Structure 1
Amino acid sequence: MDEHDTPDEQAVLRSTTALHGDDGDISRARRLAAGFLIRSQDEDGLPVSRPAVDLIRLVVTELVTDARKHAPGPATMELRITDGMMEIGVWDVDPVLPVARAADAGRLGQHGLEIVMAVAHSSEARRESAGKRVTVRIPLADDPGEALPGHRSL
């Protein structure tokens, strides 16, 4: 569900999605994030670059994959746009905070958090009363003039 904050507050576009721990969560989360960006551009005129969309899809994939892998069960993904940034928050039931492993070119897999930290403007992981939330911020426009093909740009 998308909502706008009251006029007295900073304009924030928001979408929250329940993830049920099934096999379709990852691809559904990617589609929802891309659709949210397209709607934000079409309906609100926000500039969104193609590289930003690709990075956001990658980050959503990694965060939701980690939630499924390390905390099977329910999770939520919250998308927020504010100050030219997409904030992606994924909550899951496991209270253990993720830790990036040391770089190792010979290691197969388990590079997701390293990748997320490398492409994010900022990231945070914190425990909550139940579980944890990992939040990542990605700039929406590398070049404000570069919009998604076929969509309006400012």
Structure 2
Amino acid sequence: MEASLALDGDGSRIAQARHLAAVFLAGVRDIRGVPVVRATVEIAQLIVSELVTNARKYAPGPAQLHLRIAGPVLQVELCDSNPAAPTAKAPDPERIGQHGLEIVAALASAVTVEQTPVGKCITADVALGTMAPQPPQ
């Protein structure tokens, strides 16, 4: 299962991108029968918001959001026209803003950045369903 959304440079589609993530995951649950807990939907929506917002702020021109299921993982991919890889800033509780990449990295099981001929693609992996409890050690 996959879904995509073209994003223009003015950021007016952030809400639409969040909605797409929720609808896509509802389809994964209802059509594929994959357990998707509410927290997973909320995490996916927050990751989508942060990636789309960062593309709007730092990349000139359009971007493309791709959502896809790869086994037990939702891959949230945002491709934009800025070839520079994002870097997380050092933790600073007094810094206002510029926490997007920190948030994405904290919520995703993996984050990768791939250079493309026209910019870059950032992919954040989010585990679907619930994790089995670990036995006591």
TM-score normalised over the length of structure 1 = 0.82
Name 1:138's counterpart in structure 2: 126
Q: Return the offset for 1:138.
A: 0.4
The reply to whether residue 91 of structure 1 matches residue 110 of structure 2 is no
Name 2:17's counterpart in structure 1: 29
Deviations 1:112-150 (A, max 9, x none): 100110111001012101110000000111258xxxxxx
Separation in structure 2 between the aligned mates of residue 73 and residue 27 of structure 1, nearest angstrom: 18
TM-score normalised over the length of structure 2 = 0.92
Separation in structure 2 between the aligned mates of residue 121 and residue 99 of structure 1, nearest angstrom: 17
The reply to whether residue 120 of structure 1 matches residue 85 of structure 2 is no
- Any idea what SS the aligned residue of 1:127 has? strand
User: What count of residue pairs does the alignment treat as equivalent?
Assistant: 132
Unaligned runs of 5+ in 1: 1-12, 145-154
Name 1:15's counterpart in structure 2: 3
Which stretch of structure 1 is more off in the superposition, 54-63 or 34-43? 34-43
Matches within 5 A, 1:39-54: 39-54=27-42
Residue identity opposite 2:32 in structure 1: D
Residue identity opposite 1:132 in structure 2: K
Contact 2:11 2:53 in 1 (8 A): no
Separation in structure 1 between the aligned mates of residue 98 and residue 130 of structure 2, nearest angstrom: 28
Name 1:108's counterpart in structure 2: 96
Contact 2:7 2:65 in 1 (8 A): yes
Q: Return the offset for 1:21.
A: 2.1
Residue identity opposite 1:56 in structure 2: A
- Any idea what SS the aligned residue of 1:97 has? coil
Q: Return the offset for 1:66.
A: 0.3
